[in-house]
A and B are shown apart, each in its own frame.
Chain A
């Protein structure tokens, strides 16, 4: 169990902001931080890692106090057992893939874990390459493997997948879920992608302007319960035509243009340029304005 209660004054692009976070995280769960950029998500992870000093607070990880500002306890980043994957991966350019992993070992550690991680995360063919020769997805896997070398109490991933295309993204989500289970990790993830969050996380914390605004299971937080659709996609309205009592919407979904009918109650609130969610349950499409 991880107990977090932190307070920090931040100066962000939006001006002064009070970061004020109280939450507990169950051991072995995968928790996602969700929210706009500048909301303070990365700062939360950096405070847990000890890279950023909060003004006050407590962090207790599995009974061990990492931070207690009242008692002046504040462990250095070196002594906190966290695995961290940065947004830019921060692979050491002067070392090969394998050397990057070996560097993470403590003195006297068995190198066996490095070899088994290379196997699990399928880095065998890459192990003697330098980071600059790797693709984004490969770098990401190396950073993930390196974060696990020290068998951390918490694994933290800062938007690990945002820069990758959807196919590699899907594969990496699987890698993360696999190691999360394999090593019985407590994982904190930052993500903007709702489908990714629903697929991966046990709990989601929505952060807005330094505060937790909603938390719970992903389907509760994102209100998907009252919309029990069979399939759904999002798109932008290009054009609306009325025909008798029906509205005919032309919608751009990805690269395709789709025509959909809507009834009066749905159609009268819509205009060209609106973002909408189209979902279908058997044969009748449901249209839901999202932006």
Chain B
């Protein structure tokens, strides 16, 4: 029987990452969708960087930044008592950065595709920006939100390079499923590697299938 801990850890990481990302991404995507600031391209580039940068590069710089032998890392360690290298918290921060574009892009596109008149009308009717976002804009981009949530979740499950750099391979702390697969292959336990892989394969397939079914409207007749 395989060790379930890496799988549980993977889903715990993906779950917490997704929730934090949702709260971070909504204001960020809103800002990116509506701002006229000249700095917008710079922020857009930063958000998209994890799409093209090798995960090991992100992992490497985070490792350097969080390392207790550097000023930022030692400040965190001494003043806040937080150790971000080779810990679950560090993994979480790396995952948030790494999966950011997968959450921000669909939500930003959702905001941009809404007619601008909806927001204007809500203002004319005397509603604040917050009320407008919660009651008018977000309910009308539900499919974008769902896409963002699922892609960020699935992408966090699939990460490997960043985790390996910043988290290492500590059982129960930072050894997630994708690393477990690598680990088992290294020690020639192909059966165990196969079990992890199959589970990941089936789960991610199911998650994505559900999203496409919902967003494609195939489940509408069931809802009604």
Seen from chain A, the residues whose Cβ lies within 8 Å of a Cβ on chain B are 49-51, 76-80, 82-84, 86, 88, 90, 92-94, 103-104, 106, 146, 149-150
Contacts and interface: CB of A to CB of B under 8 A. Distances in A.
A255 B136 CA distance: 45
Interface SS, B side: helix
B140 A92 contact: yes
A94 B173 CA distance: 43
B126 A78 contact: yes
A82 B136 contact: no
Given A88-B117, A90-B115, A90-B118, A82 B139 contact: no
A84 B128 contact: no
A77 B123 contact: yes
Interface SS, A side: loop
Interface range, B side: 10 to 19
Nearest to A94: B139
B224 to A, nearest CB: 13
Nearest to B136: A92
A77 to B, nearest CB: 4
B166 to A, nearest CB: 41
B125 A88 contact: no
Contacts of B123: 50-51, 76-78
Nearest to A52: B120
A94 B125 contact: no
Which of A50, A90, A93, A150 gathers most chain B CB within 10 Å? Answer: A90
Interface string B118-142: 1011111111100000011001100
Contact of A90 (B117, B126, B135): B117
4 smallest A-B Cβ distances: which pairs? A90-B117, A94-B139, A90-B121, A77-B123
B140 A106 contact: no
Nearest to B135: A103
A51 B135 contact: no
B140 A94 contact: yes
Contact of B115 (A76, A88, A146): A88
A86 B126 contact: no
A146 B125 contact: yes
B20 to A, nearest CB: 26
